[in-house]
A and B are shown apart, each in its own frame.
Chain A
Amino acid sequence: MPLNKSKKKTPMPAQKPEVRRRNFNEVALGYTEEDAVNEAQRCLQCKKPGCVQGCPVQVQIPQFIKRIAERDFDGAIKVIKETNSLPAVCGRVCPQEEQCEQRCVVGKMGEPVGIGRLERFAADWERAKGVQVPDLPTKLGKKVAVIGSGPASLTCAGDLAKLGYDVTVFEAFHKPGGVLIYGIPEFRLPKAIVQEEVEFIKKLGVEVRTDMVMGKVLTVDDLFDMGYEAVFIGTGAGLPKFMGIPGENYLGVYSANEFLTRINLMKAYSFPETDTPIKVGKKVAVVGGGNVAMDSARSALRMGADEVHIVYRRSEEEMPARQEEFENAREEGIIFDFLTNPVQIIGDEKGWVKGMECIRMELGEPDASGRRRPVPVKGSEFTMDVDTVVIAIGTGPNPLLIKATEGLELTKHGYIAADENGKTSREGVWAGGDIVTGAATVILAMGAGKKAAKSIHEYLQSKK
């Protein structure tokens, strides 16, 4: 096949910043067939591909890219789906720069091959013409319960269904998808795509039951009583953290979880067409520097805010958000206040936010995480005039199910202790994704779901 020797990735069309900053439509528009073939021709088809090692679910990257280069798009998606059940999601939200693309040989001399973009292209191409369901094995007559319906759970459920298990997914919300549906905004990951990915999992024979708050309506013990022989817990890290500073209960202060749930899951941007309201003021401060902070800030802008600040206590270098999202946010006009930390939130007589007192920070010695610890600069306090504050400083494990499950060993941070295969201290119970690792990435959660499915299969095979 012909080789494309360009040092740069084939560009992907995108909405212009001045247009997209006021709508919730997807920012990146995806490759055309020509773009995809052109980009696929940049792949050197390494014999020992580093990119595959960089992928937590080991998609056979050179193989699928070769098929795209040969215009065999059917073949490409088939290769991807052997190991990845959610390619349209992963192609969009994976931090490829830290995973597959980081290990790409082409990237040593220029930009790496656009693996994520190509995966997305293949998945979108298949979706456009209707998703094929693979041939399924005969049922084994064994039931497995999966708690939660985020990326870890959907992957685990999909893999087990492909092996012939009867899988039921129990989801607390009214829609499955976890963070893909309530957290990541429409402009990065259209909800229709998440729904289609869930439909695919259902077509594999997985039953999805919504409105099931596990630990309340059913416990893990109930599931074993109901005949489930193994349980996978993929409930994520959904407990919002607050800063513990004065004024956090003023009106107009949101956790990022609440802010994004109202907007994404409840579609508050369509109020009053939809019933869930949200209040976004003219000047918004988002506290934090991760992807959730970027998503919140960009959502606030799209809700009509005049000015949106990201207030982050470290500097640009330490920011955990994806480079691409940081750049997108900056292009859209988000203002970054680095080395700045809130001290208190100030309210008016009716209890509404009217300002936020902050202090300047400087970087000191590296801390346990290896990042330089921010230290307040004495006497540098100042007040920002803001009328909405969104707190995006991280999340913890939601205790609902954990509290209701006996014999489950936890880590010192309250997450579920599990081995590398997801096995917990309790027989027949696996866990994976953010509920084990703390808030991480979609693809790592998928990798954990995949390993757990394999381990559950081995366990149930040896049981009979």
Chain B
Amino acid sequence: MFKILEKRDLAPSIKLFVMDAPLVAKKARPGQFVIIRIKEGGERIPLTIADYDAEKGTVTVVFQEVGKTTRELGTLKAGDFIQDFVGPLGVPVEFPHHKKVLGVGGGLGVAPLYPKLKMLHEQGVEVVSIIGAKTADMLIFEDEMKAVSDRLYVCTDDGSKGRHGFVTVVLKELLEQGEKFDEIIIIGPPILMKIGAEITRPYGIPTMVSLNPIMVDGTGMCGGCRVSVGGEIKFACVDGPAFDGHKVDFDELMKRLATYRDEEKTSLDRFQETHECKLTGQMKGANENAVK
């Protein structure tokens, strides 16, 4: 059992847990993730490691409530326990000789972007970052990103904060203005990473993306998370999740992510009927606030 030490609401439906997990904290590095299972009968889902502290023995994870399991996770509070918290998984990322790096994060993708940029910043690399969300209140990790970036651009799809438009618009501008980077890291929804990688391709700048396919075990024994990279089959859980964005077959990834769409809906509907009746009033209130 793993204890939730702290819980924070970062945005409507986006939550942060600080978990008590000393062994995971000791080995965690930027680019890695964990697999969690809430309870007996629950499914295993991958979550991004957004931060870690080996001394305190804590690991920070961020998740968005998009389906049954993340919705159920969101009902837990500080002091509650989850059954399984497995990691650190995946290959840590390294940037041995970089001088200047651009980080691009969309939506929840800002969370896995942050530890990479933090490490680069601590190594003395010049960090430029662009983060974005649909609306101002959906933006996460703005202060954290500011602290590790030499320059930070903020965008919203509806213009409610910062630049009006997608993060890829700013990415394009910077490259068109002739700004040079040793590497560009783009993390967010697959469509954002696909478009972003197409923008950087003509400039020949190495572009790293972090993929989010469906996973079961997360240790390389099932291949459920397989992706095509440069025409080869790779398992994102053990070969990634970071890959060369210019080689990833994003269309295939997006199709595969839809495999269980019907089942995911069944599961969520059932959860809402049985578990959220009591919360309905409260949730309505939250939605109204969001509209305001």
A interface residues (Cβ-Cβ under 8 A, vs B):
172-174, 210-213, 216-218, 238-240, 242, 248-249, 251-252, 254-255, 257-258, 261-262, 266-267, 270-277, 279, 350-351, 398-400
Is there an interface contact between B266 and A272, defined as CB atoms closer than 8 Å?
yes
Indicate the member of A238, A267, A275 with the most B CB atoms within 10 Å.
A275
Q: A248–B249 Cα gap in the complex (Å)? A: 14
Is there an interface contact between A277 and B263, defined as CB atoms closer than 8 Å?
yes
> Beyond the given A261-B216, A275-B69, A277-B260, could you list 10 further A-B residue pairs with CB under 8 A, ordered by the A residue number?
A173-B217, A174-B44, A213-B89, A218-B27, A251-B256, A258-B224, A261-B217, A272-B263, A277-B263, A351-B255
Q: How large is the interface on B (under 10, 10 to 19, 20 to 34, 35 or more residues)?
A: 35 or more
Indicate the member of B69, B88, B221, B228 with the most A CB atoms within 10 Å.
B221
Is there an interface contact between A261 and B222, defined as CB atoms closer than 8 Å?
yes
Q: A218–B259 Cα gap in the complex (Å)? A: 34
Q: Within the complex, which residue of B41, B86, B227 is in contact with A274, where a contact is CB–CB below 8 Å?
A: B41
Closest 7 CB pairs of A and B: A277-B263, A258-B222, A351-B255, A275-B43, A238-B221, A276-B43, A255-B223
Main secondary structure of the interface of B (DSSP, over half): mixed
B34 to chain A, nearest CB (A): 10
A453 to chain B, nearest CB (A): 25
Main secondary structure of the interface of A (DSSP, over half): loop
B-side contacts of A255, CB under 8 Å: 222-224
Is there an interface contact between B86 and A275, defined as CB atoms closer than 8 Å?
no
Q: A251–B252 Cα gap in the complex (Å)? A: 9
Q: A276–B43 Cα gap in the complex (Å)? A: 5
Q: A238–B221 Cα gap in the complex (Å)? A: 5
Q: A257–B88 Cα gap in the complex (Å)? A: 22
Q: Within the complex, which residue of A174, A216, A240, A261 is in contact with B83, where a contact is CB–CB below 8 Å?
A: A174
Is there an interface contact between A279 and B221, defined as CB atoms closer than 8 Å?
no
Q: Within the complex, which residue of A217, A240, A249, A275 is in contact with B221, where a contact is CB–CB below 8 Å?
A: A240
A-side contacts of B267, CB under 8 Å: 271-272, 275, 277
Is there an interface contact between A249 and B256, defined as CB atoms closer than 8 Å?
yes
Residue of B nearest to A210 (CB): B84
B interface residues (Cβ-Cβ under 8 A, vs A):
23-24, 27, 37, 41-44, 68-69, 83-89, 216-224, 226-228, 233, 238, 252, 255-256, 258-260, 263-264, 266-267, 270
Residue of B nearest to A219 (CB): B27
Residue of A nearest to B37 (CB): A174
Q: Within the complex, which residue of A213, A273, A279 is in contact with B259, where a contact is CB–CB below 8 Å?
A: A279
Given the known interface contacts A262-B216, A266-B216, A400-B238, the answer about A351 and B221 at a Cβ–Cβ threshold of 8 Å is no
A-side contacts of B44, CB under 8 Å: 174, 266, 276
Is there an interface contact between A267 and B220, defined as CB atoms closer than 8 Å?
no
Q: Within the complex, which residue of A218, A277, A350 is in contact with B255, where a contact is CB–CB below 8 Å?
A: A350
Q: A319–B46 Cα gap in the complex (Å)? A: 38
Is there an interface contact between B41 and A216, defined as CB atoms closer than 8 Å?
no
Is there an interface contact between B266 and A257, defined as CB atoms closer than 8 Å?
no
Given the known interface contacts A174-B84, A279-B259, the answer about A249 and B226 at a Cβ–Cβ threshold of 8 Å is yes
Q: Within the complex, which residue of A248, A273, A398 is in contact with B41, where a contact is CB–CB below 8 Å?
A: A273
B-side contacts of A240, CB under 8 Å: 221-223
Q: A217–B219 Cα gap in the complex (Å)? A: 12
A-B contact pairs, 10 of them (CB 8 A): A172-B217, A172-B219, A216-B27, A261-B216, A272-B270, A274-B41, A275-B43, A276-B43, A276-B44, A277-B43
Residue of B nearest to A266 (CB): B43
A267 to chain B, nearest CB (A): 7
